[in-house]
Amino acid sequence: MSSLTIAMPKGRIFEEAADLLRQAGYRLPPEFDDSRKLILDVPEENIRFILAKPMDVTTYVEHGVADIGIAGKDVMLEEERDVYEVLDLKISACYLAVAGLPGAKITDVAPKVATKYPSVASSYFREQGEQVEIIKLNGSIELAPLIGLADRIVDIVSTGRTLKENGLVELERICNITSRLIVNPVSYRMKDLQIDELVERLSLVVDGNEEVNL
């Protein structure tokens, strides 16, 4: 049987995703969690893991160099890749929101919105019938309104601590985000049995965790 290649996001999703795989019975070696290697083979499971930046996971899966990936819904919405989203893993929960300084008066015809998610932000304001100018940043988005670069931001909120500590307020909630299991369409045809088994095993864990969390 040919092996499966899974693109894992480095960073904050990684640990929860690895936990989920372990709960599903996959034997991942302990060094898996703090290795600096970018390709990790687990021969006993016939799986190769590649470790990618969270924003790049969809790219590896769309190009078919990974059969499967784990990606935040935020990345899926921003990138709109040709991949199948097969399971909501219900991990790394957060949401996308519009935020700004409290009581800020916006007088510009097209107020400036700073974000790491230009496509999501443009669609959102278009749907609201609001004209805005999008400014793409790669991080520390909350800085933009404080320093006068933008009137508002579109960014991820999880605990709300970053907004609070920077004196910003949430203005509108755009959508909830969790991590998703995604699959390359060709891989799904060629390796359907292996992929179905993985999806099945992970679904049982996700459903079980949900019951525990109730």
Ligand X SMILES: O=P(O)(O)OC[C@H]1O[C@H](OP(=O)(O)OP(=O)(O)O)[C@H](O)[C@@H]1O
Min CB(3)–ligand ATP separation in Å? 26
Min CB(192)–ligand ATP separation in Å? 27
Range in contact with ligand X (rule: CB under 6 A) among 55-63, 117-125, 152-160, 186-194: 152-160
Please identify, using beta-carbon distances, which residue of 58 and 187 lies nearer to ligand ATP: 58
Min CB(48)–ligand X separation in Å? 27
Q: With binding defined as CB under 6 A, does residue 155 bind ligand X?
A: yes
Please identify, using beta-carbon distances, which residue of 67 and 155 lies nearer to ligand X: 155
**How many of the chain's residues bind ligand X (CB under 6 A)?**
12
Window 69 to 88, contacts with ligand ATP (CB under 6 A): 72, 74-75
CA distance 36 to 111: 42
Q: With binding defined as CB under 6 A, does residue 158 bind ligand ATP?
A: yes
Please identify, using beta-carbon distances, which residue of 12 and 48 lies nearer to ligand ATP: 12
CA distance 209 to 179: 15
Please answer whether residues 118 and 112 qualify as being in contact, where contact means their C-beta atoms are separated by less than 8 angstroms.
no
Please identify, using beta-carbon distances, which residue of 46 and 158 lies nearer to ligand ATP: 158
| Dihedral of the alpha carbons of 67, 72, 77, 80, in degrees to the nearest 10 | -20
Question: What's the sign of the alpha-carbon dihedral 25, 28, 34, 39?
Answer: negative
Min CB(53)–ligand ATP separation in Å? 5
Min CB(4)–ligand X separation in Å? 29
CB atoms within 10 A of CB 178: 17
Side by side, the strands of the sheet bearing 179-183 are 39-42, 47-52, 4-9, 68-72, 179-183, 84-88
Which residues lie closer than 8 Å to 10 by C-beta, 6 or more apart?
51, 52, 53, 54
Q: With binding defined as CB under 6 A, does residue 205 bind ligand X?
A: no
Q: With binding defined as CB under 6 A, does residue 183 bind ligand ATP?
A: no
CA 190 to chain centroid, in Å, comes to 26
Q: With binding defined as CB under 6 A, does residue 141 bind ligand X?
A: yes
Which residues lie closer than 8 Å to 32 by C-beta, 6 or more apart?
18, 40, 42, 49
CA distance 82 to 88: 17
Window 39 to 68, contacts with ligand ATP (CB under 6 A): 53-55
Q: With binding defined as CB under 6 A, does residue 140 bind ligand X?
A: yes
| Contacts with ligand X, residue ranges (CB under 6 A) | 139-142, 155-162
